[in-house]
Structure 1
Amino acid sequence: MISRFFKNLPPYTRNFYFLFTFFFLIWMLFLDSNDVFTQLRLSRKLVDLEAQKEYYLEKIEEVRKDRHELLSDSDLLEKFARERYMMKKPTEDLYIIVAEE
């Protein structure tokens, strides 16, 4: 039965190297843990992570610049503390105005 099946196949498909290569390709393309679909998914994820890295590097540089400005200028530091953390001098009153949406 099996020998009949193999006799009906073209001669090159009965070759050991052809069969080995065919099964190897099927295994690598679909069955392996590093198949094509996984590689494509990981490639897209890498691109997304690199974009996030660029964003965060820009934010870090922006924060460093702001920090340098705040530490070098006492007037700017006072303004920042008043606006951001609502700090005030002991003789002042603080009024917070919330805009309606």
Structure 2
Amino acid sequence: MVTLKETGRFISRYKYWVTLGIFLLVIGVLDENSLIQRFAHKREISKLNAEIEFYRKQYEEDSKMLKEITSNKEALEKVAREKYLMKKENEDIFIFEEDLK
């Protein structure tokens, strides 16, 4: 069994290595801003940046669609027919399940 004296001698003999080990343990694992947390935050930031890019592209497409709808009556009718399944009088619409997907 290791006694307190032996532990003290070990620490005094390898004080720099023990200090370095404790420092790496605190920085790498125990600290609030540890390396593990930094990698997790970096992964989350990249995921959020990808989501931002997705919504930016969707916004640009929707802006183009809105501009086209407000300036062109035929485009408005096309969107109403395709997206909202609207129809003219005396007209029948057939919906196929494959087309909705």
- Normalising to structure 1: TM-score of the pair? 0.72
Give the drift of 1:50.
0.6
Could you list the structure 1 runs, at least 4 aligned residues long, displaced by more than 4 angstroms after superposition. Answer: 8-12, 18-22
1:24-75 C-alpha deviation (Å, 9 max, x unpaired): 4322221123221111111111111111111110111111001110111011
Compared CA separation, residues 19 and 78, structure 1 to 2 (3 A) = same
Question: Equivalent residue for 1:66?
Answer: 65
Q: 1:6 aligns with which of 5, 8, 15?
A: 8
**Root mean square deviation of aligned Cα:** 2.8
Give the drift of 1:22.
4.6
Compared CA separation, residues 35 and 99, structure 1 to 2 (3 A) = closer
Provide structure 1 residue ranges, at least 5 long, that are not aligned to the other structure. none
Between the aligned residues of both structures, percent identity stands at: 29
**Separation in 1, partners of 2:9, 2:97:** 85
Give the drift of 1:80.
1.6
- Normalising to structure 2: TM-score of the pair? 0.72
